[in-house]
Amino acid sequence: MRIVTYNIQFSRGKNMVHDLERIARTVDGADVIGLQEVERNWAHLDMADQPAELARLLPGYYWVYGAGLDIDGSEKRADGTVLNRRRQVGNMLLSKTPIVATRNHLLPKLNLLDFPNDQRAALEGVVETTAGALRVYVTHLSPRYNIERRMQIEVLLEIVRDGPSSGGAISGPNTRLAQAGGRNPPMPREAIILGDFNLEPVEAEYDLFCGKIDPVYGRMARADGFVDAWVRAGNDIAEGVTCPEDPANDTFHDCRLDYGFVSANIADRVRAAWIDAEAQGSDHQPFWFELDL
């Protein structure tokens, strides 16, 4: 199974041109796609519905969308009728196999005095695979404040770890679902978390996923934790660039901010991981990895 995560920056590429077709070509062929910074109904893109357009460009995929930022973008026409419309920014999950259930989890947010700060979310999808169900989370954490980012990670990990015990979108007997020929969707322990985490591997927040470093024994990964697919595939933790430096802004440097974190119970199924350094569709680069599923 090939998986890719990509912060598409609303489809604005390195040439400053918005091009969703370029984004679609870049990720097409993956079995599971996680996208961040996907938006709906903003004036700078002529009120485009990017999730719907990406779905049109990738017709062989099932998809779900979950907004973090969600505010009114409606207007009242001259005849008094309302065009109901939401201005949204969020995450998108696409899969070649059915996404049998989905939920959108809002993450903690602080009201900062001097900086803009959007609501963040983690989109959950339970995806069918040949080896059984797999939970996939797509998220984009705060870029502003490491304290807020730590809060978001702690809540996200609690959501992921509590999933099997709390049940999925439906749990327990459900007559309506049974009458419709359906059954309760699974809530497997196997999970991956995809996204732009706005942190580098040297930061303490990374340890929340992958375990702290012991001065003698090295990284102490937990059995109920996660592994970094990039590292598990044999790459150096200090290498890899998913967010290249910006010549117009000397506060940014080459760094790895985009990850696929894989639950420890399927860590041994990571086969390969790579970064598409040639992609031109965003200020980020797509991160790909393979799971033996």
The overall longest dimension of the chain from CA atoms, in Å, is: 73
Each residue's pLDDT tens digit, 238-265: 999 999 987 666 566 899 999 999 999 9
Delineate the domains of the chain, giving CATH numbers in brackets. Answer: 2-291 (3.60.10.10)
| Rounded CA separation 16/220 (Å) | 42
Question: What is the pLDDT confidence band of residue 182, given thresholds at 50, 70 and 90?
Answer: confident
For the whole model, what pTM was predicted?
0.95
Question: What is the pLDDT confidence band of residue 175, given thresholds at 50, 70 and 90?
Answer: confident
82, exposed or middle or buried, with CB in 10 Å at 0-12, 13-18, 19+?
exposed
Of residues 182 and 271, more confidently modeled = 271
Residue 140 contacts residue 195 (beta carbons within 8 Å): yes
According to DSSP, the residues that pair with 136 across neighbouring strands are: 125, 192
The H or E element that residue 9 is part of is none
